[in-house]
Amino acid sequence: MNCAHCGAPMTLEDRFCPHCGKPNAQAAQHSRDMAHYNREFEKTRRGVYGTLKAYKGITARLILLVIAIVIMIVAFALDNNVYSLYRSHMQREARAHADEIEAQIREYTEHMDYVSLARYSEHYSLAHYRFEDDDRFGKYYPMLVLARDYTNLYADMMPIVTMDDPSERRSSWSIVCDDITHLYKHLYDADEYFYEDGDPELNARAVSDVEKLTDALLIRYLGFAPGETEEFHTMSAGKRSAFIEEKFERITEERRAQSDE
């Protein structure tokens, strides 16, 4: 480029003409443009680096989350697989010692010890699935399920005896309601579930025994009168829950009165 004043050659970097000394207007504008460009470039660079850094952090967290989910899925699958292998092993053991196990099952039922029967059955995984038609334990399946249901009710009812906090007792009562509903389905809606799989005589005895044991629990721990248990058997699930709620409120009031004395 040339000086606008004397025509001498000069560059954009020359703020003054090297020949006449006059200011170079184009150099000043160029300097301002370059300064603006540098500011915009630095701003853009910081924005890009900041965005990349943010995405890098998000990506790292997403990767960790995916890894955690994969680990959980694998652990769940392994746990189920290990438990399934354990059950299969114990069921093979049961078949290998069928005479001994059948004798023990009959001994528990003779003494109406359905809690021990349920725990024994759980050890050998006898009530976790329906056996094949030719399996020696298939005839015990309904009885073992009733034993399991009764044991769950028994175990969940016991905390009610010791709990002092009404809110904790209420939570236990809710669980007990669910247990009773589940048990009564197997006691009184048997045909709909599984009794065609078992021995009729064993089924009838198990139903009678578990019914008596359940009534005893209701009388001992829920304050039922002996006559109320018969009526309770024929109630719908909703009415049974409401009836148990009444018992809960009564027992709560009695305990509150005792604590105030």
Among 49, 68, 96, residue at a domain's last position: 96
| Predicted local confidence at residue 33, as pLDDT | 60
- Residue 255 CA to residue 82 CA, distance in Å, equals 46
Tell me the residue range of the domain where 43 lies.
23-96
Question: Based on the domain organization, do 80 and 127 belong to the same domain?
Answer: no
Q: What is the DSSP letter of 164?
A: -
Closest CA to 230 of 215, 217, 220, 248: 215
pTM of the model as a whole: 0.64
Strand partners, 2: 9
Question: Based on the domain organization, do 133 and 193 belong to the same domain?
Answer: yes
Closest CA to 86 of 52, 48, 123, 60: 123
Please tell me the total number of residues recorded for the chain in this structure: 261
The number of folded domains in the chain is 2
Q: Which residues of the chain have pLDDT under 50?
A: 134
Question: Based on the domain organization, do 137 and 232 belong to the same domain?
Answer: yes
Question: Based on the domain organization, do 36 and 140 belong to the same domain?
Answer: no
| Predicted local confidence at residue 125, as pLDDT | 82
Quick one: residue 163, left, alpha or beta (phi over 0 = left, psi -120 to 50 = alpha)? beta
One-letter amino acid for residue 103 of the chain = A
Strand partners, 16: 23
| Predicted local confidence at residue 118, as pLDDT | 92
Among 96, 123, 145, residue at a domain's last position: 96
Contact 121, 148 (CB under 8 A): yes
| Predicted local confidence at residue 100, as pLDDT | 92
Question: Based on the domain organization, do 33 and 116 belong to the same domain?
Answer: no
Q: Residue 15 falls within a domain, yes or no? A: no
- Going by C-beta distance under 8 Å and a sequence separation of 6 or more, which residues neighbour residue 233? 184, 188, 211
CA geometry: angle at 8 spanning 2 and 12, to 5°?
40
Question: Based on the domain organization, do 190 and 244 belong to the same domain?
Answer: yes
Among 96, 130, 157, residue at a domain's last position: 96
Q: Residue 13 falls within a domain, yes or no? A: no
Query: Where do the DSSP E strands lie in the chain?
Result: none
Model confidence over 195-219: pLDDT tens digits? 566 678 888 899 899 999 999 999 9
Task: Give the Cβ contact number of residue 39 at 10 Å.
Answer: 10
Question: Based on the domain organization, do 240 and 111 belong to the same domain?
Answer: yes
C-alpha distances (whole Å) from 209 to each of 13, 93, 108, 212, 214 are 107, 28, 12, 5, 9
Question: What is the largest distance, in Å, between two alpha-carbon atoms of the chain?
Answer: 127
Handedness of CA 46, 51, 56, 58 (dihedral sign): positive
- Residue 210 CA to residue 208 CA, distance in Å, equals 6
Q: Residue 226 falls within a domain, yes or no? A: yes
Q: Residue 3 falls within a domain, yes or no? A: no
Handedness of CA 76, 81, 84, 86 (dihedral sign): negative
C-alpha distances (whole Å) from 214 to each of 139, 168, 233, 234 are 23, 23, 10, 14
Tokens 């725990």 found at: 119
Question: Based on the domain organization, do 80 and 113 belong to the same domain?
Answer: no
Q: Residue 171 falls within a domain, yes or no? A: yes
Question: Based on the domain organization, do 58 and 122 belong to the same domain?
Answer: no
Question: Based on the domain organization, do 110 and 228 belong to the same domain?
Answer: yes
| Predicted local confidence at residue 220, as pLDDT | 87
